[in-house]
Amino acid sequence: QVRLVESGGGLVQAGDSLRLSCAASGSTFSSYAMGWFRQAPSKEREFIAAIRWSGGSTYYDDFVKGRFTISRDSAKNTAYLEMNSLKPEDTAVYYCAAQPSIATPFGSWGQGTQVTVSS
């Protein structure tokens, strides 16, 4: 069982940057991929990006448009989401999740970290 803890959220102004961290413990090495998602008030949770734990291949939703970068540090069992040029519409709770294998959905959700972008 993988346990995930997000951190790094906060209140920033439009145009600022933030780096979110997702520390994993437990069966990390059995995870196929790690992903970042977000959920804004009154909206469904949406996919942002994912990274394969082995090899580091990355995948992004189109709305990211080069502003966000996902990475991981295998030695620290930690995934990151670097967010630049933040906009008020990026305000949401950001979650990370683990995908145990290519055939299984993301799960083991963290508790989330709040990101608030003021205009």
Token pair, residue 2, equals 């993988």
Give residue for tokens 């600022």: 16
- Strands of 74-112, DSSP E: 78-83, 92-99
User: Tokens for 96?
Assistant: 């990370």
pLDDT digit string, tens, across residues 52-96: 988 889 999 998 879 999 999 988 999 999 999 999 999 999 999
CB 110 within 8 A of CB 22: yes
How high is the pLDDT of residue 27?
Answer: 63
Q: Give the pairing of strands 10-13 and 113-118.
A: parallel
Q: What is the pLDDT of residues 9-59, one digit of tens each?
A: 999 999 999 999 999 987 655 688 999 999 999 999 999 999 998 888 999
